[in-house]
Structures are given as C-alpha cells and as structure tokens.
Amino acid sequence: MDFDRVARKTILSIAGNSAVTRFAKTYGMRLGARRFVAGDTLDEAVKAVQDLNRRHISATLDLLGESVYSEEAARAAAASVMAILDGIQASQVDSNVSVKLTQMGLDVSYDLCLDNLRAILGKAREYGNFVRIDMEDSAHVDVTLKLYRQLREEFENTGPVFQSYLYRTEQDMSDLGDLARNIRFVKGAYSEPASVAYPSKADVDANYNRLVRLHLEAGRYAAVATHDDAIIGSTLEYVKSGAIPNDQFEFQMLYGIRAQRQQELADQGYKVRIYVPFGLEWYPYFTRRLAERPANLFFVMKNFFAR
C-alpha cells in the first residue's frame, strides 16, 4: 500500500470520528472549506459561476449532501435541485447540474429515486439543460447504471460518470454503448478494496487514458475530469494526433483546485467546466478533498494558525 492510499484511509477514518466532526463543522469554513465550497446559498453559488463565466469557463452546480434515508429528505433534495435549475435559467449563467443518486433517495427506494430524477430531468429538458449523474462508491455502481439506463431511454439530456480505478469500468462502458455518448471520466474518490479497484496509481492512470481514447475514437463526447497534468497532457497529445475536434471534449476540475491551470486551458481555447459545490452539507466533500491530497491539510493548518 503506497503513502497516498494510507493517507486517504487515515484521513477518511479520522473524519468519521464524532469529536473531529463536531470540531470541523464548527470551524471548517474558517479553516479552509471556503476554498473548495462556493458558499452556503444558491445566490453565492451563482455569483461564483458568473465569475467563472466571465473568464470563459462553464460550471456544473452541485448541491452538497450525501445519502438521505427518508422519502421527505429525498423529495426536499430533488426540489432544491429543481430550484437550482430555475436559478440557472433566471440568471442565464452557463452551468448545468450534477446530482448524487443517494441524495435523491436511492437508498430509500429505487422508485422514489427514479421519480425524483424524472422530475429533475424533465425540468432540465424544458430549459435545454443537462444533468450529470455522479458516480458514488462501488456498492452503488450496479444500481446507478440500471437507473441511468432506464432514464436515458426517456431523456437525452443526461450522462454518467465512469471511474478508472474500477476494474469493471471498460465493460460497463461497452454495455451502455450509445446510451453513454457523453461521459465524465474520473479516477474515483472513494476508498475501495483491491478486489474491485486498482491499488496502484499507475494502473488507475493507464486505465484512465485507455478509457478516454476508446470513447473519443468511437466519436463520443468526453469530459476529462482531473487535475493531473500527465493525464491532461496525454489527452491533448491524443486529440491532436487523432484530429479530435475541440468540441468533442472538455476538461473539468473542482472549484478551488488548480485555478491557474483551469484558466490556462480556457485561454488556449479548450472547453473547461468547473464543478461548483455549495450548500450547508460541505463536511464529507471537504474531507474527501483532504484525503485525496494530504498537502491540502497544510493549507488548512496554515489558515488555522493564520486566523
């Protein structure tokens, strides 16, 4: 097990500790969460998107929150996503939305989640907008793909996320075929066992490049979501050598991470979209960002001592 995996596991387990959770929720925004989260409210998030748009960068808005365990909470979360779509339409910002199925009630019932997603996709279609369905931990992959397939047969304005750390991903992509014309590729953010996911970064990266190439070669649209310069570089090399047009792919990064690189790519004429999370439920999102890059901890410590 390499250093990154140990650090990720350690941070995720410390983050689950209740005393740490209480402390972080009280002081987290001041400690640095604000760097990765656009604000508590939709208004603040729209302002962040307007700022990106002014710099020729588009966005995908994400209402923070993880699994919900009641129908009421799932319906409330779906209503909030529809309010985000209204907000995007009203302000005319260049943004779509990303949703997590467990937040829309997947762990309560499949039909509840389907119902919520139908309402969201229906509203997005009315506005000519698009809904990205985030991929969560490996225990949810089968059900996410099943629900995605069912929705995609009714709605064109949606696309899935595929994680290159999972052994199964290439097969999943090929099973979906033309139903997944617009894919976001990521390495994967959850702590997964070696029985389902490549343990080494080299294998995760090699699989990432392979999946993106297969997809582009098939003439489909790729959202290359990474902060990794090696992957960004090899994607650029490939698109240039394979004469893939600039409108067949985009780069995606997270709000607050590598802002300078985001701007450079946009200035070079590439499409860039930033994942802009907002809302009160920022804690699990923030700890995942710390886990995947322990150097971010120094940023948090610096803010703590600099107060």
String marking each residue 277-296 x if it binds ligand FAD according to CB under 6 A: ---------------xx--x
The single residue among 12, 15, 257, 297 that binds ligand FAD, judged by CB under 6 A, is 257
Report the 3 state secondary structure along the chain: CCHHHHHHHHHHHHHCCHHHHHHHHHHHHHHHHHHHCCCCCHHHHHHHHHHHHHCCCEEEEEECCCCCCCHHHHHHHHHHHHHHHHHHHHHCCCEEEEECCCCCCCCCCHHHHHHHHHHHHHHHHHCCCCEEECCCCHHHHHHHHHHHHHHHHHCCCEEEEEECCECCHHHHHHHHHHHHCEEEEECCCCCCCCCCECCCHHHHHHHHHHHHHHHHHCCCEEEEECCCHHHHHHHHHHHHHCCCCHHHEEEEEECCCCHHHHHHHHHCCCCEEEEEEECCCCHHHHHHHHHHCCHHHHHHHHHHHHC
Q: How far is the CB of 72 from ligand FAD (least distance, A)?
A: 25
Q: Which of 152, 184, 220, 273 is catalytic?
A: 184
String marking each residue 141-180 x if it binds ligand FAD according to CB under 6 A: --------------------x-x-----------------
The single residue among 134, 158, 250, 270 that binds ligand FAD, judged by CB under 6 A, is 134
Q: How far is the CB of 19 from ligand FAD (least distance, A)?
A: 26
How many Å separate Cα 181 from the centre of its chain?
17
Q: How far is the CB of 63 from ligand FAD (least distance, A)?
A: 14
187 binds ligand FAD (CB under 6 A): yes
78 binds ligand FAD (CB under 6 A): no
Residue-level length of the chain: 307
Classify the C-alpha dihedral 114-115-117-123 as positive or negative.
Answer: positive
* Residue 149 annotated as catalytic: no
User: By CB under 6 A, which span of 72-80, 115-123, 251-259, 277-285 interacts with ligand FAD?
Assistant: 251-259
The single residue among 68, 254, 266, 276 that binds ligand FAD, judged by CB under 6 A, is 254
Q: Which of 62, 107, 134, 205 is catalytic?
A: 134
135 binds ligand FAD (CB under 6 A): yes
39 binds ligand FAD (CB under 6 A): no
User: By CB under 6 A, which span of 18-26, 71-79, 115-123, 227-235 interacts with ligand FAD?
Assistant: 227-235
The single residue among 37, 141, 189, 212 that binds ligand FAD, judged by CB under 6 A, is 189
51 binds ligand FAD (CB under 6 A): no
* Residue 134 annotated as catalytic: yes
Catalytic residue set: 134, 184
Q: Which residues contact ligand FAD (rule: CB under 6 A)? A: 134-135, 161, 163, 186-190, 225-229, 252-254, 257-258, 275, 292-293, 296
